[in-house]
Amino acid sequence: MDGSIDDKSEDSPSSSGSSQPQNLSTVVHTITAVPTAIPNQPVEEDGEGHLVRTDTDIGIEKRREILSRRPSYRKILNELSSAEAPGIAKIEEDKEEEAAITSIQTTIPSYVQTSAGQTIQIAAANQNELTTQGLQTITMTNAGQGAVTAAAMPAGTTIVQYTQGDGSQQFVTVPAGEVQAYQIRAPSSLPAGVVMATPTGITSPQQLAEESARKRELRLMKNRYKNREAARECRRRKKEYVKCLETRVAVLEQQNKTLIEELKSLKELYCHKAETE
């Protein structure tokens, strides 16, 4: 790993526990390299309550063993439901779920990268409504702006404006001169709603390097988004799986009770019969 991106403060405003859509017009540009914990290594307490990683291979092997034995929740649950009693729901991508996923996809933010390596998030209420046709640029003169805005934006800052399908307008700002250097396009390789801005007329190696770094960052961003969704799904399935197991336990306990009762009554019947004979 070349250092992870600590984007919790801005890239993930919803990390507070509520999974709301990310705020409109959020500027996403904090990319801080921090040492990441290496997961999947055994952990020990250091005596002060702090967790310290150790290098014992036992933990790794154990985990491998567990991993190699454990199929996905989807598989487990589906097997359970096919082999077991009714009432245990199969995990499948029903239409409701698909609809939900679609709605998530259509509300994801869009990103435009600047040449400074910053990523500006364009939050579109519906990605289908984010069209290049709706894009306009306004170059600020820095005169007569409101106090806060003027202070935050240097002269010549360009505002990218786009109009959404519902008529509402969104603005993002880009440092002077950068917008002119970009073509806004939506490549098919990006997730829905992610707009990539590519500089035109790149010639120098430095620009190429910058561009490849930008592409890498966009790819990572795309992966993170996908993985975020995947993690949500995984947790949902896990919950469902646990619920299913709980239901199964309850059913089996009830069966057990019934069988014990049956055994009791049969025993009594047998004893009674033996006495009379």
Partner DNA sequence: GTCTGAACCCGTCAGGTGCT
Partner DNA sequence: AGCACCTGACGGGTTCAGAC
The residues binding DNA (CB under 7 A) are 1, 4-5, 7-8, 11-12, 14-19, 36-41, 43, 51, 53, 63-64, 67-68, 70-75, 220, 223-228, 230-235, 237-238
Measured from the CB atom, the residue of 246 and 262 that comes closer to DNA is: 246
Shortest Å, Cβ 10 to DNA: 9
Strand, helix or coil at 156? coil
Q: How far is the C-alpha of 3 from the C-alpha of 175, rounded, in Å?
A: 27
Strand, helix or coil at 107? coil
Measured from the CB atom, the residue of 91 and 184 that comes closer to DNA is: 91
Q: Which phi and psi (to 5°) does residue 3 adopt?
A: 100, 135
Measured from the CB atom, the residue of 7 and 178 that comes closer to DNA is: 7
Shortest Å, Cβ 242 to DNA: 10
Measured from the CB atom, the residue of 88 and 160 that comes closer to DNA is: 88
Measured from the CB atom, the residue of 219 and 272 that comes closer to DNA is: 219
C-beta neighbour count of 57 within 10 angstroms: 10
Shortest Å, Cβ 249 to DNA: 17
Q: Are 142 and 79 in contact (CB under 8 A)?
A: no
C-beta neighbour count of 87 within 10 angstroms: 10
DSSP 12-76: -GGGGS--PPPPTT-EE----EEPPP-TTS-EEE-SSS-EEE---HHHHHHHHHHHHH---HHHH
Shortest Å, Cβ 100 to DNA: 13
Shortest Å, Cβ 274 to DNA: 51
Both structure tokens of 98:
């698909």
